[in-house]
Chains A and B, each alone.
Chain A
Amino acid sequence: MSGREASILVLPTPRASRGLWRDALSRLMRNGPALVGLLLIAIFVMGALFAPVIAPYNPTVGVLMDSMKGPSLAHLMGTDLLGRDEFSRVLYGARISLTVGVVAVAFGLLFGVTVGAIAGGAGGKVDAVLMRITDVFLAVPGILLAIGIVAWLGHGEIQIILAVGISYAPMFARLLRGTLLALREADYVTAARSMGASTPRILLRHMLPNALTPLIVQATLALATAIIDVAGLGFLGLGPGDPRIAEWGEMLTDSARFLQSAPYLIFFPGAAITISAIGFNLLGDGLRESIDPRLKR
């Protein structure tokens, strides 16, 4: 009897929470798949950052004598039609794909968050109008909106960033607006309002920080699709259009004709796109699970 009482007494008290973010971080660090994702992303970021140091050759200057050589010690991933080193091009391609993908998602996030915050914060007619406009953009499926925007704006990295960013903005706007509408009824918002806090203050200081989590998760997952979409635009001939730039999607188009004789020219850039997308997908899923442990897959 006394033994049982004693065992109740020694039950560990729940560890005091150290705050949402630190808890989430410690859960993330114990999430195996997320760490694999982080590692994959780190490899590509390092490759992109140190491309000039790592790349054995100039990615844009080829030696015609070495045209279409298969993978070897001299050329780890072989050479393309113009005799350019494929490994160096994949490395430099990481710079374009990662920067364009990240900047596009950041732009879409900024744009979407602004629209979503105004709609969710103001409510009423402003909300209705903004959401109808969002619906219009959401009605154009997937990469097609980005295709249309690039067709309209013309070639170039900035154009691709704008196109992919704009095509992602409605999703972020929707997400934030939905969360904000749900939060309006939260007790702490009522409390802040009753204490006389101004609407912008309530929105910025109380509601936005609490609405951030789903946005962060969605933005990480969007990085995966953004990289795929940017490559897709390049593949369709809507890439940067600058022969001095190595871009994964354009590299694939250039090599598609040689699928039979030089499949490695498709394999390596293709694997680069896929593996970086896997990295961001793993990290995004891991973030979702660690920020909200109830949502385990």
Chain B
Amino acid sequence: MLRYIVRRVLGAIPVLFGLSVILFLFLRLLPGNPAVAILGQHATPQLVAQIDTSLGLDKPLYVQYLQYVWGLLHGNFGASFVDGRSVASTFLVRFPATVELTIGALIFAVGLGIPLGRLAARHPNGWIDGAVTVLSLFGISIPIFVLGYTLVFIFGVELHWLPAVGQIDPRLNVTPVTNFAIIDAILSGRLAAVEDAIAHLILPAIALGSIPLAIVTRITRASVIDVSNEDYVRTARAKGLTEKRVDDRHIMRNAWLPVTTVIGLQVGSLLAGAVLTETVFTWNGVGSWVVTAIENHDLIVVQSLILIFAMIFLAVNLLVDIGYAFLNPRIRYS
């Protein structure tokens, strides 16, 4: 097992190296003087000189690259030229909001997707199955931002059931400690604040979770149908076990494997989807920061965020693979 883990971790190194080279060139290969191109309309002689020194543009390319990687290894992802703050420090402030949103979306997708998939698999091609299939087709076809605005319109504007903007009502004056709105609300010790933070999370989580919901439902359905046709399931039924026991002990135990893998793979789509979701719901996470950075032409931030997102994605995939190998020993030896 340990050898498998080491092999997988080592396997991620060439990818990280390649990413760092491409993202390094991302800024250097901009047309014209990179500093001017990075700054765009904001270019002033002072700022150009500042960017020149911070990126080391006066040195040979390989020295610049080594400096860049050396910085990355020390957690230095560069600084935004708009507010001068380091990318790493702003990231740490904004990331909890994105994690909160992503977890909310996962809970929605998995919590609803697995029961729906099991329900659909019980009577394949029945009317419930048909309805679930249509729902999942809709889920993968509707863009996050279209679903997001639709939810805002129905539940925010028309029904006034749920808040549609931000993470928590600023009038509640909850002091940010962890920057996880719900945890901060719990720390404030006021039930109203906790309720408010959860209410703020519902609509964005549904919008972001729609695609994973569709995929988890489909995979659960397919996986359960697959396992249900196995001989050992028939044997279990023939032994006279109750339907519930067959379902829990014989079908679901084996159907879980592909489902967990797919759930892990969804993290990538959730991170990318956060960019759109956070924009719709004015959610102060990393996703909306990408958009602000692009609007400000803050390319250093854009470059660093792409790298950080990719690193998170790689790390999660690695964890999923290791978890999968843990559950299924056949994987380790291939």
Chain B hits for A263, CB < 8 A: 153, 157
Digit string of B257-299 for contact with A (CB within 8 Å is 1, else 0)?
A: 0000000000111011101100110000000001100110001
Q: Are A281's CB and B141's CB within 8 A? A: yes
A–B Cβ pairs within 8 angstroms, 11 of them: A133-B18, A135-B14, A141-B313, A143-B272, A152-B30, A224-B141, A236-B279, A256-B149, A267-B150, A277-B143, A281-B140
Are A132 and B141 also in contact (CB < 8 A) when A140-B309, A141-B269, A141-B271 are?
A: no
Instruction: Give the distance in Å from the alpha carbon of A147 to the alpha carbon of B275 in the complex.
Output: 10
Digit string of B11-27 for contact with A (CB within 8 Å is 1, else 0)?
A: 00011001100100010
Instruction: Give the distance in Å from the alpha carbon of A228 to the alpha carbon of B276 in the complex.
Output: 12
The residue on B at minimum CB distance from A277 is B141
Are A151 and B294 also in contact (CB < 8 A) when A231-B143, A266-B153 are?
A: yes
In the complex, which of the residues B22, B30, B138, B141 has the most CB atoms of chain A within 10 Å of its own CB atom? B141
Chain B hits for A141, CB < 8 A: 267-269, 271-272, 309-310, 313
Interface residues of A (CB under 8 A from B): 132-133, 135-136, 139-145, 147-148, 151-152, 224, 228, 231-232, 235-238, 252, 256, 259-260, 263, 266-267, 270-271, 273-275, 277-278, 281-282, 297
Interface check B9, CB cutoff 8 A? no
Q: Are A235's CB and B15's CB within 8 A? A: no
Q: Are A281's CB and B146's CB within 8 A? A: no
Are A259 and B275 also in contact (CB < 8 A) when A236-B294, A252-B146 are?
A: no
Chain B hits for A273, CB < 8 A: 142-143, 146
The residue on A at minimum CB distance from B290 is A147
Chain B hits for A136, CB < 8 A: 15, 18-19, 22
The residue on B at minimum CB distance from A238 is B294
Q: Are B19's CB and A232's CB within 8 A? A: no
Interface check B131, CB cutoff 8 A? no
Q: Are B310's CB and A260's CB within 8 A? A: no
Interface check B314, CB cutoff 8 A? yes
Interface check B222, CB cutoff 8 A? yes
Question: Which of A132, A252, A271, A297 is within 8 Å of B145, CB to CB?
Answer: A252
Are A139 and B302 also in contact (CB < 8 A) when A147-B294, A152-B30 are?
A: no
Question: Which of A140, A143, A148, A278 is within 8 Å of B276, CB to CB?
Answer: A143
Chain A hits for B22, CB < 8 A: 136
Dominant SS at the B interface? helix
* Distance from A102 Cβ to chain B, minimum over Cβ atoms (Å): 17
What count of chain B residues pass the 8 Å CB interface test?
Answer: 46
Q: Are A259's CB and B153's CB within 8 A? A: yes
Are A148 and B26 also in contact (CB < 8 A) when A141-B272, A142-B273, A270-B149 are?
A: yes
Instruction: Give the distance in Å from the alpha carbon of A279 to the alpha carbon of B15 in the complex.
Output: 36
Instruction: Give the distance in Å from the alpha carbon of A133 to the alpha carbon of B17 in the complex.
Output: 10
In the complex, which of the residues A142, A144, A263 has the most CB atoms of chain B within 10 Å of its own CB atom? A144
Q: Are B295's CB and A232's CB within 8 A? A: no
Are A270 and B150 also in contact (CB < 8 A) when A141-B268, A143-B276 are?
A: yes
Interface check B106, CB cutoff 8 A? no
Query: Which are the 4 A-B pairs with shortest beta-carbon distances?
Result: A142-B272, A141-B268, A270-B146, A136-B18
Instruction: Give the distance in Å from the alpha carbon of A228 to the alpha carbon of B272 in the complex.
Output: 13
Q: Are A237's CB and B309's CB within 8 A? A: no
Q: Are B302's CB and A135's CB within 8 A? A: no
Instruction: Give the distance in Å from the alpha carbon of A182 to the alpha carbon of B299 in the complex.
Output: 42
Chain A hits for B26, CB < 8 A: 148, 152
Q: Are A132's CB and B275's CB within 8 A? A: no
Which residues of chain B in 148-194 are interfacial with respect to chain A, using CB atoms and an 8 Å cutoff?
Answer: 149-150, 152-153, 157
* Distance from B15 Cβ to chain A, minimum over Cβ atoms (Å): 5
Are A228 and B302 also in contact (CB < 8 A) when A133-B18, A141-B313 are?
A: no
Instruction: Give the distance in Å from the alpha carbon of A191 to the alpha carbon of B52 in the complex.
Output: 61
Chain A hits for B267, CB < 8 A: 141
Are A274 and B143 also in contact (CB < 8 A) when A139-B314, A147-B290 are?
A: yes
* Distance from A73 Cβ to chain B, minimum over Cβ atoms (Å): 24
Chain A hits for B143, CB < 8 A: 228, 231-232, 235, 270, 273-274, 277
Chain B hits for A271, CB < 8 A: 146
Chain A hits for B327, CB < 8 A: none
* Distance from A162 Cβ to chain B, minimum over Cβ atoms (Å): 15
Interface check B137, CB cutoff 8 A? yes
* Distance from B281 Cβ to chain A, minimum over Cβ atoms (Å): 11
Interface check B49, CB cutoff 8 A? no
Chain A hits for B18, CB < 8 A: 132-133, 135-136
Instruction: Give the distance in Å from the alpha carbon of A140 to the alpha carbon of B137 in the complex.
Output: 25
* Distance from B269 Cβ to chain A, minimum over Cβ atoms (Å): 5
Question: Which of A133, A148, A281 is within 8 Å of B302, CB to CB?
Answer: A148
Interface check B306, CB cutoff 8 A? yes
Since A136-B19, A236-B276, A256-B149 are in contact, a sample of 7 more A-B pairs with Cβ atoms closer than 8 Å, ordered by chain A residue number, is A151-B294, A235-B145, A235-B276, A252-B149, A259-B152, A274-B146, A278-B138
Chain B hits for A282, CB < 8 A: 137
Chain A hits for B137, CB < 8 A: 278, 281-282
* Distance from A119 Cβ to chain B, minimum over Cβ atoms (Å): 15
* Distance from A190 Cβ to chain B, minimum over Cβ atoms (Å): 24
Chain B hits for A232, CB < 8 A: 143-145, 276
Question: Which of A148, A231, A235 is within 8 Å of B306, CB to CB?
Answer: A148
* Distance from A96 Cβ to chain B, minimum over Cβ atoms (Å): 15
Instruction: Give the distance in Å from the alpha carbon of A297 to the alpha carbon of B129 in the complex.
Output: 12
In the complex, which of the residues B145, B150, B271, B273 has the most CB atoms of chain A within 10 Å of its own CB atom? B145
The residue on B at minimum CB distance from A128 is B14
